[in-house]
Structure 1
């Protein structure tokens, strides 16, 4: 399934001017010039350490740790707690066994790490389309339940921020107080087997070789890679390193005047009505 981000083409964000006072260094990052004498912080740290907090100690301690790591330069990613009123046009998408998924517009948008680092002040991508992953019964979330979130932070903060699954931070449902993970939104094509009844017969068909239809209008090498990932013998499927290498080659090939042109067709794109017995959430 070819995935394309709504946010792939972004206007260059506006930059905020920096005003400095004196030559005393910031107490947080030990590098920037102080602009706020009361808190003894530079422009960047003043913005990053604003007290938008969840009042959940587990989450707040973790988020503050990502901020400290970012301003001191030990990590390359930052996570935030974002007030829920920052999101507009919230639209329900799907439900799983442990969460509900929504699409929304984040008004201020995520921090642009490149321009923020270059300018020593917060720069954001405004009106950014995101996915809100609301975790069921997560009002009193524990450190253990945040493990997935922590693992992604470790991957992203080590410079692997070209991965698909980025996490920007956390917000909170103002009514249920459930925690909501903020991620970029990627519009996808049709869900696999959308026209089929999801039952034991479908399982048997898949074991016998049934696969979703392949979109022919795709970058060179994509279809072959997809077929390889679907091989009936798991030992003959490409490894993660193989997949990364092939996708990297496609990325290089597509950054030229002869890049693949996406052609609109009734055979691709989302469908409005699935088979009523096509079930895409966890069940026994």
Structure 2
């Protein structure tokens, strides 16, 4: 599994040893305070008390223009425990070679080169941060964020602790900091750049070359990332293939806490996301839980098995929401291994309580990958079936199939009950017709009662 450290080594392996000899500390001991470092590896060591002081000393040298943004950055910097969790205000003029990538429901994404680059360690001799220069980054420009809400920033704050909890969490897209477009005044999240784009784009371009082993590698990365999120008591709330990113050799989860309007507080009743990935309880207006993320993960499993986005040829409207609440799911692809199918169906089970937790999912996928290494022919046979699937014609995407996060309609419980009553009435009518045709000897009341009690609506 690659990490940000290995990527740094790959990008900057040309630097000489002398350039990295002035680290703030050596051999696990901070040379400024004499205490043990909280973190260390071949490329950096980190003393949180000393580096917190360095950050504090630099507070007067920058300002975002928004007190809430400044407070978010300062609090994060004071608690930084290793270089991969650094978070800072990044002046817009440090970005060059800016190129448009895509547009989503709440922002648009650009690729850029960050001229200064991220912090690696404190250089004691030069009394400044040593950085890796000219790093490629993704810039997520947040629509209508000129008056960014404190509620939105609080959501970002809760997710930033993920980087503090894991030294090399490569399955979560790193957030380097915040910037601002000087013309539009819209705020920008500066994110790790993943070279192969989002999962939907990646599958469209590479599905024909993917084996089950490679798909399971990506699925395991996503599961591990989600496990990191859930182990911190957090939820993603908007897992779909547009928020899962592929770098050269691994997959990572992105857009944590960013899938909602940046300029307003959001009602707990509002549901934002991509409808085909949203759990039925959410579409009924129920609270979000970690089990809701598991449902979305199940849909991602289907996407990796089919090479298609879910429900591409129908409108993503209120009728689809009703059908999902009724149990409508993507059709399982022929040749999918039975163990994979069973786990996928458990993940998208209508009852959240019956969905597996992410830690067990991680263990199951690890077992499958081990089975492949040991030559289990279940997966080699599945690869043969997969070759047949690859020859099928591509599905045309409906003009009303929306794969961007947005405010979704919810199924009113009262409406759902009324719809169920109408369904019962249709069943009763049909049962009466059947009784008449068969000259049934039972009373009409008992026949109606039997039909209703034996139809689970």
For 1:210, which of 312, 326, 329 is the aligned residue? 329
**Are 1:169 and 2:177 counterparts?**
yes
Quick one: distance in 2 between partners of 1:192 and 1:151? 30
Aligned length: 251
Q: What are the ranges of 5 or more consecutive residues in structure 2 without an aligned counterpart?
A: 24-30, 38-49, 201-307, 410-457
Within the candidate set 406, 414, 417, 1:282 is matched to 406
CA distance change for structure 1 residues 234 and 19 in 2, over 3 Å: closer, same or farther? closer
| Match runs of 1:1-284 below 5 Å | 10=7, 11-14=10-13, 15=15, 16-18=19-21, 45=54, 49=58, 51=61, 53-70=63-80, 73=81, 77-85=85-93, 86=95, 88-96=97-105, 99-108=106-115, 111=118, 116=120, 122-124=130-132, 126-130=134-138, 132-159=139-166, 161-184=169-192, 185=194, 186-189=197-200, 190-206=308-324, 207-211=326-330, 224-246=342-364, 249=366, 253=370, 267=390, 274-279=397-402, 280-283=404-407, 284=409
The one-character-per-residue Cα deviations of 1:169-215 (angstroms, maximum 9, x if unpaired) are 11212222111223334521254323321123333443343216669
Q: 1:58 to 1:193 in 2, by over 3 A?
A: same
Greater helix proportion: 2
1:34 is aligned to none
- Residue-by-residue CA offset, 1:60-119 (whole Å, 9 max, x unaligned): 23223333333xx489721122233415343252332xx21314133348637xxx3599
Q: TM-score, normalised by structure 1?
A: 0.63
Report if the CA contact (8 A) 2:347-2:355 is conserved: yes
RMSD: 5.0
- 8 Å CA contact 1:209–1:232 kept in 2: the answer is no
Cα distance, 1:150 vs structure 2: 0.4
Secondary structure at the residue paired with 1:171?
strand
2:137/2:191 contact within 8 Å kept: no
Larger Rg: 2
Tell me if structure 2 keeps the 8 A contact 1:67–1:79: yes
Instruction: Identify if the C-alpha distance between structure 1 residues 203 and 187 changes in structure 2 by more than 3 Å, giving closer, same or farther.
Output: same
Counterpart secondary structure, 2:406: coil
SS in 1 for 2:72: helix
State the alpha-carbon separation in 1 of the partners of residues 148 and 185 from structure 2: 10
- Report Cα offsets for 1:222-242 as digits up to 9, x if no partner: 665433312233222111332
TM-score (norm 2): 0.43
Q: Secondary structure at the match of 1:198?
A: coil
SS in 2 for 1:168: strand
